[in-house]
Structure 1
């Protein structure tokens, strides 16, 4: 269920579901959702996933942008699109990190934000309908 705020934009947990489903559609690797609301001043959620090639990384980022645009939401900023090694999509309260798999290992953002409640989405998942209790707002 998508909850909308007063200005008709989906709330942060609804954005997470929209983004996660776009990511799953492109068969990204190791989708992780971190609830950083209580430990970050600039975002509620980080979404981290990876692709097996720069083309897959770009396709995942494109799918997220397309799905969010259909929901009436444009990113504040996009970084790294040309190289396709680490693409960051900034949706204000939700930050998406799409990595080329070897770079994800190197930067290990999950370790840097280890105090955040975490939801690991199973690799066989094709759709996400809700966030787990520890990760939901």
Structure 2
């Protein structure tokens, strides 16, 4: 699987698990370490773990395993290193603190298709 396709797949899985503000940053012209970051988050530790585990499982089903995973036990910041793609799943307050989006502010954002969000009506039936 091409790195951008892998990043989009991870982003789609994160989005399907109701991750907040899913981003793909294109680092190909900015870093020799990796091509893409996928950055996403949740307000809860359980949410972070669920999102990260869903990404790991979906990619494993496609025979793609990370070189390294850290932070899954704690659930504050899970990093899954797939070589050309690094997935970051943050607890939102930790994401705000480290602010990778600003640190890599020159990186172009890549689009993916987020799921359609259902609108919740305030009407009682």
Considering the TM-score relative to the shorter chain, is it more than 0.5? yes
Using the TM superposition, name which of 57-66 and 15-24 deviates more.
15-24
> Is contact 1:30-1:120 (8 Å) kept?
no
> Is contact 2:17-2:51 (8 Å) kept?
yes
1:61 aligns with 52
Distance 2:25 2:56 in 1: 20
> Is contact 1:81-1:87 (8 Å) kept?
yes
Deviation at 1:20, TM superposition (A): 1.1
Distance 2:46 2:7 in 1: 23
Q: In the alignment, does 2:63 pair up with 1:72?
A: yes
Bigger Cα Rg: 2
Q: Which consecutive segments of 4 or more residues in structure 1 shift more than 3 A?
A: 119-122
How many residue pairs get aligned? The number is 116
Match of 2:115 among 118, 126, 129: 126
Distance 1:88 1:27 in 2: 18
Q: In the alignment, does 2:31 pair up with 1:31?
A: no
Deviation at 1:119, TM superposition (A): 3.8
SS of equivalent residue, structure 1 residue 30: strand
2:94 aligns with 103
Q: In the alignment, does 2:33 pair up with 1:42?
A: yes
SS of equivalent residue, structure 2 residue 25: strand
Identify if the C-alpha distance between structure 1 residues 120 and 107 changes in structure 2 by more than 3 Å, giving closer, same or farther.
farther
> Is contact 1:52-1:100 (8 Å) kept?
yes
2:74 aligns with 83
